[in-house]
Structure 1
Amino acid sequence: MRSSKTYWRAIRRYFLFFTAIALLPLALVYLVTNEQIYKIKGFEFVNDTKIPIIPDDSIQTLSQSDMLMVEQRMDKRRKHLAEKCSEHGLDSAGNDSWHKPNPWEFLVNHKYHIIWCNVFKAASSSWMYNFNILAGYTPEFLKKTNEVPLVLARKRYPRVTLEELQEAQNDSITFIIARHPFERLLSAYRDKFMYAVPHSFHDKLGSKIVRTYRKKHKVDRHTPRYPTFAEFVTWLLDEIHRNNFIDMHLVPASKFCTPCLINFDIIIKFETLEHDQVYLIDKARLKHIIAPEWRNSGKGKNTLDLLQAFYSQLTRKQLDGLYEYYKYDFEVFNYNAAPYFSIAKKNEEETPNAS
């Protein structure tokens, strides 16, 4: 009797095993077909979430000649970066922050094979939104949520090691968005200090800067409660001189993303963002999923009048200090600082000093 039960138990196990093997291909076909059905209906599955597919008539494209023009522009930028990195010895690995590869700030999307180093105040809000879409968050959710976009992103894009980043780069497009260092600095100042959210970290920091660097005899009813641009720059230069931690919105992109030590396939510039990001989306084959975004473009947009108004508050000595700190950004991304020196104060006037 016992041998008979053992015999039928073995038969059942064999039956279930071979049935599972037989049904496996059907299950795979169902899963693939089911995903294709959702694509036909206008959705893409990402992390078990349905996100809308952009219809053909809404896709932004470049002409063949424009694509070629941007491609040539990218070749020149990569070549220029490589030459300047070599000229300044930034392509040699070392132990300091300028010569040590920094994969910490990269967002790696394995599904769509696209990698981005997020330079704050360089279209970062726009591309953080797109990377959250690629991570599976729906537009409706991103519109309603109060969570910080970077916090949401890091839930889906964990920090990677250098080895993990390099492995992912084998079949991915890696890109960075560069911006004129002085424009980026002013954008950060205006966004984080002039228009600081009440009681936020930057609002409290701004109050501390005012208490430390503002001369009491210069206070009148026209003096703003937030630090002036000159006070802010003096504080920043002091922080740099003391080798203190520098806010991620202010740190040089060449230090933040170490482009001399980590390869970038596409170097977008803020000044040519409109065409560059359409080119990137096309090259990454993401035209049906994401589109060029223009988020947080109000406070962060610096017109020539704004640049004139703010940088004319600084002395030549202050500009020298800023240029020294951002000089590698100027060099590797091919930006010019000369026009700013022409509008700085001609004479060394009194500037705020820490009391």
Structure 2
Amino acid sequence: MAKARLLRLWLAAGSVLTLLLIIAYWDSVGTAHFYLHTALSGPRAPGREQGRALAADVDAFLDKLLGPGRKQGGLPGRKAEWPLAPASAKPAPGKLEENVRGYDWSAHGATQGPGQGQLQAERRRVLRDFCANSSLAFPTKERAFDDIPNHELNHLIVDDRHGAIYCYVPKAACTNWKRVMIVLSESLLDRGAPYRDPLDIPREHVHNSSTHLTFNKFWRRYGKFSRHLMKVKLQKYTKFLFVRDPFVRLISAFRSKFELENDEFYRKFAVPMLRRYSNLTSPPGSVSEAFGAGLRVSFANFIQYLLDPRTEQPAPFNEHWRQVYRLCHPCQIDYDFVGKLETLDEDAAQLLRLLKVDGLLQFPPSYRNRTASSWEEDWFSGIPLAWRQQLYKLYEADFVLFGYPKPENLLRD
């Protein structure tokens, strides 16, 4: 018995030592052999075949040390979090939701325009400068990456095959960027083979959290080493996000979630709004009944909801209207690429080139959203000035950090 106990202790100590060696490897040797950055962030970017040959992912290295059987549970005793998910048969193009929501399927020029590199450098400079500027204050700005709760890292999607991390922002082309990440990471199967065309991926799979490897899943896979491995990947991978004018993003969120029949959003958000701001004690039980009776949440109701101090008492803002600084932590994560929906075609083409994947796929045809910046005055014309000013303060950090001009015309009489 004593010998068996000593053997188990020796094996446990060996496992801990192995993991410590892994960490040391990734901190020192890994930097010299792990060229997965773009030209924006320092080290050279490899070709696709070179990147694959390097077997750079942490999991590949763990396999070499601990054996392929480790894949059954990540670290010993842990359950794997993201198996390749089988998908249903590819839908007919006519059934794609985008076909009825205004997507423009014509070709758009996506060549790199003059000054694209300088434009990215300026966006990143603005972001860094304001993160360091004490004149701009907002909640969570000063906290360290280690202080971000694990559940707040669920928007950071990782592609280990190409060394990319994407923080998705709803209402800023995130559906198609998620499709691109699925193709790159090969995280979803269609009849036993990974998807090759982003547009082939059904929408219901795109937004299924089990489809993507996100930072919040690291804890169950890597345990106490998870935060360190996140930092290694943040240091070595290309990190990007796409943003949008904050007020236009709110208008788009309102249109898609409350002007269309969406039963989930009706029950969870519209019913409380109708009760609280429209004095309806018993709103209809379903969105179809409500729409049939002419009962809809107004844009003014939505703004009231955002400004109401009671709104976030039970839970944070829904991701469709949560501030970008709360979704993507731009003062804790040094993003290599800041794309904008307003320049989506050019930015997408540039990013795919920088990731060296422009030969693998094209960014799907962009959504020609009718929620243009010029519509802001119309949408906000019925909103009291005091509300508009409060709303700006609520989203001011997103305006400033990402270089969007203050909407002065909406904030004065």
Once the two structures are superposed, what CA deviation does each residue of 1:274-332 show, in whole Å capped at 9, x if it has no partner?
A: 1111100000001122212245x35x541255323211121111112211111111111
Letter in 1 for 2:126: H
Aligned to 2:381: 312
Count residues in correspondence: 282
Q: What does 1:147-226 correspond to in 2, within 5 Å?
A: 147-151=204-208, 154-158=210-214, 159-160=217-218, 161-197=226-262, 199-202=263-266, 204-214=268-278, 224-226=294-296
315, 319, 327: which one pairs with 1:256?
327
Q: 2:363 aligned to 282, 289, 292, which one?
A: 292
Contact kept in structure 2, 1:230 and 1:314, CA below 8 Å:
yes
Per mean C-alpha deviation after superposition, the further-off stretch among 124-133 and 91-100 is 91-100
Secondary structure of 2:154 counterpart: helix
Deviates more, 1:171-180 or 1:231-240: 231-240
Task: Give the C-alpha shift of residue 108 in structure 1.
Answer: 0.6
Question: Which amino acid is the alignment partner of residue 237 of structure 1?
Answer: L
Structure 2 equivalent of residue 78 of structure 1: 124
Which deviates the most, 135-144 or 241-250?
A: 135-144
Quickly say closer, same or farther: Cα 1:269–1:140, change in 2 above 3 A.
Answer: closer
| % same residue | 21
Provide TM-score, normalisation by structure 1.
0.68
Shift of 1:182: 0.3
Question: Structure 1: which amino acid aligns with 2:204?
Answer: E
SS in 2 for 1:147: helix
Alignment of 1:112-151 (within 5 A): 112-136=162-186, 137=188, 138=195, 143=200, 145=202, 147-151=204-208
Q: Distance in 1 between matches of 2:350 and 2:243?
A: 16
Structure 1 counterpart SS, 2:317: coil
**What's the offset of the Cα at 1:92?**
3.2
Could you tell me the TM-score, scaled by structure 2's length?
0.59
The answer to whether structure 1 residue 62 and structure 2 residue 111 are counterparts is yes
SS at match of 2:236: coil
How has the CA–CA distance of structure 1 residues 81 and 146 changed in structure 2, closer, same or farther, with 3 Å as cutoff? closer
Please provide the CA RMSD for this pair: 3.7
Max Rg structure: 1
Partner-residue secondary structure (3-state), 2:204: coil
Structure 2 residue corresponding to 1:328, chosen from 388, 397, 405: 397
Q: Which runs of 5+ in 1 are unaligned?
A: 1-31, 37-46, 50-57, 347-355
Amino acid of the residue matched to residue 328 of structure 2?
Answer: C
Over 3 Å counting, the alpha-carbon distance change for 1:78 and 1:211 in structure 2 is same
**Structure 1 residues 233 and 175, CA, compared in 2 at 3 Å: closer, same or farther?**
same
Change (3 A) 1:134 1:140: closer
Please give the secondary structure, in 1, of the residue aligned with 2:394. Answer: helix
In the TM superposition, what is the alpha-carbon distance from 1:222 to its structure 2 partner? Answer: 12
What's the counterpart of residue 229 of structure 1? 299
Query: Residue 181 of structure 1 contacts residue 329 of structure 1 at CA under 8 Å; is this kept in 2?
Result: yes
Cα deviation for residue 189 of structure 1 reads 0.7
2:158 counterpart SS class: strand
Contact 1:278 1:292 in 2 (8 A): yes
Instruction: Report how far residue 142 of structure 1 moved.
Output: 6.6
Counterpart of 1:273, as a letter, is L
Distance in 2 separating the partners of 1:126 and 1:234: 31
User: Which residue identity lines up with residue 403 of structure 2 in the other structure?
Assistant: N
Q: CA deviation at 1:127?
A: 0.5
Distance 1:146 1:177 in 2: 19
Please say which of residues 324-333 and 134-143 is displaced more in the overlay: 134-143
Structure 1's 183 and 80: CA in aligned 2 closer, same or farther, altered over 3 A? same
Gaps of 5+ in 2: 1-48, 54-83, 87-106, 189-194, 219-225, 281-290
Counterpart-to-counterpart distance in 2, 1:334 and 1:322: 17
> Which residue pairs with 1:39 in the alignment?
none
Residues 200-248 of structure 1 deviation map (CA, whole Å, 9 limit, x = unaligned): 23455213312321157xxxx9995221100111012115675442101
Residues 59 and 291 in structure 1, CA contact (< 8 A), matched pair in contact too: no
- Could you give the per-residue CA deviations for residues 154-175 of structure 1, whole angstroms, max 9, x where no partner exists? 3341434543322113332110
Change (3 A) 1:201 1:99: closer
Identify if the C-alpha distance between structure 1 residues 140 and 248 changes in structure 2 by more than 3 Å, giving closer, same or farther.
same
Partner of 2:23: none
